[in-house]
A and B are shown apart, each in its own frame.
Chain A
Amino acid sequence: MDTEVAVIGGGLVGMSIAYGLQGLGRQVTVFDEGDRAFRASWGNFGLVWVQGKGVNMPDYARWTRLSASLWAEFADELREEAGVDVELRQPGGLDIYLTEPEAEAGIQRLESIRKDLGGDYPFEYLDNNALRKLVPEIGPKVAGATYGPEDGHVNPHYLLRALYAAFQRNGGRIENGRRVTRIEPSSAGFRIENDKERQAEKVVLCSGLGNARLAPMVGLEAPVEPLRGQVLICERVKPFLKYPTGQIRQVGEGAVQIGDSMESVGFNDDSTPQVISKIAHRAVQIYPLLAKLRIVRSWGSLRVMSPDGHPIYDQSTACPGASLVTCHSGVTLAAVHAKVLVAWIAGSKEPDCLEGFSAKRFELRQVA
């Protein structure tokens, strides 16, 4: 036996799970494809975001809020375990609407979640005047914003570094640079091929878009597709933006990060001038003073999207010992993955709130 638990995928999802399982006393090896992989963990926006998550799926809203509430302690723990400050700030966040219809749709979305949660879902709408008091830099054309007090952001690169460092410091092993090509049940549990051959008692699939290929090997399904987002990074400036928005945030070290696209273009993570200029244009309408900032780089990255945009958590009945974790929000959910989800993966009873997250929900919809 090479390892007790094999985690397939060394991005934010895989490393959060690996780190959490290790905390439960499991001996864990991470199998990571390496730098050729499409890495949402490198390209993502870094939000710890509650607002708007869980429309028509209240358990996802609850799960997201649970993670947001665990984040402060999680960040402290990582600072201690890894010596890395992940730059967590949770002052609340703004979803900004340029037009009245956009604002109405946004408010309606949040109100439907609030109703599903029996009223326990904090947010407030700020019109342009109210918003200007909170954020003097806001543009005159902005209709308003919803403020969610639980929202925040981190530096996702420091988060990945912290998880690696803490995991390795506590004796975790990582096999980088070789793609897992095959997983099959064996007498000991699972045989994993990545040029070499490894044996593990349990296996957890955390390989983002790669889960679509790997899941059927252990009797599971992961119908995830890439959804591209493009991101701009501006030069570093002195801190001036306190509140992150869904599109614009100032990172801990001063750079302003802007991202605002959703494109179904397959496995293509290029950035394109047309989309970049649209993103920049919208950003300047939100904060006109950004027009004076230089853009120093841009990139495209692929979100990992399930058909309804919500996470998939599953355990295989055909191949007991195999679990699957996939989501679009690897940053937001890192805390709840590392602190709560791992107990279920390690063998505890499934928490009630997770029942609806199986990929079986997509089959049922097809029948209906």
Chain B
Amino acid sequence: MPNDSSFARLPDRPAVPVTIYFEDRPVVACEGDTVAAALLAAGHDMTRTTAVSGAERGPFCMMGICFDCLLEIDGEANRQGCMVDVRDGMRVRAMSGARQLAGAGHG
């Protein structure tokens, strides 16, 4: 999996490939990856823009605390990419700003 990621996979782990789709483009990940880890390993380090200033962000703490890896996963907005394991065929999108709450008018 050659790419420009600054992350390298450990050599001592069995690598069972899994394909997910980020912004409709295939990303080859390994079984047991979190979505955030798979995206970082594939060189995607900008995965959302913030709700307040629109600044670019990517996965950071990888342990569920910082909420910087928010992604739309299989149609569900604002999921923490570091808390969700990859599944073959998963559709993932970057989060652009704040989520639109379905059914909400515009106050």
Interface presence of A254 (CB below 8 A): yes
Residues of A270-309 at the interface with B, using a CB-CB cut-off of 8 Å, are: 289, 292-294, 296
Knowing A253-B51, A253-B52 touch, does A292 contact B107 (C-beta < 8 A)?
no
Contact of A238 with B99 in the complex, beta carbons under 8 Å: yes
Interface of A is mostly: loop
Over the window 44-83 of chain B, the binary record of Cβ atoms lying under 8 Å from chain A Cβ atoms (1 yes, 0 no) is 0000000110000000000000010000000000100000
Residues of B67-107 at the interface with A, using a CB-CB cut-off of 8 Å, are: 67, 78, 97-107
Q: What residues on B are CB-neighbors of A98 within 8 Å?
A: none
- Give the size category of B's interface with A: 10 to 19
A200 to B105, CA, bound (A): 55
Contact of B102 with A239 in the complex, beta carbons under 8 Å: no
Contact of A236 with B107 in the complex, beta carbons under 8 Å: no
A136 to B104, CA, bound (A): 8
A235 to B78, CA, bound (A): 8
Q: What residues on A are CB-neighbors of B78 within 8 Å?
A: 235, 294
Contact of A240 with B101 in the complex, beta carbons under 8 Å: yes
| Chain A-chain B contacts (Cβ-Cβ < 8 Å), number | 48
A292 to B97, CA, bound (A): 18
Q: Which residue of chain A has its CB nearest to the CB of B67?
A: A296
Knowing A235-B78, A294-B78 touch, does A240 contact B105 (C-beta < 8 A)?
yes
Q: Which of B52, B78, B100 has the most CB of A within 10 A?
A: B78
Q: What residues on A are CB-neighbors of B104 within 8 Å?
A: 137, 237-238, 240, 289
Q: Which residue of chain A has its CB nearest to the CB of B51?
A: A236
Contact of A239 with B67 in the complex, beta carbons under 8 Å: no
Q: Which residue of chain A has its CB nearest to the CB of B100?
A: A238
Interface presence of A340 (CB below 8 A): no
Interface presence of A82 (CB below 8 A): no
Task: List the 3 shortest-distance A-B pairs measured between CB atoms, nearest first.
Answer: A242-B107, A240-B104, A236-B51
Can you give 24 A-B contacts (C-beta < 8 A)?
A137-B103, A235-B99, A237-B98, A237-B100, A237-B101, A238-B98, A238-B99, A238-B100, A238-B106, A239-B106, A239-B107, A240-B104, A240-B105, A243-B107, A250-B107, A253-B51, A253-B52, A289-B102, A289-B103, A289-B104, A292-B101, A292-B103, A294-B78, A296-B67
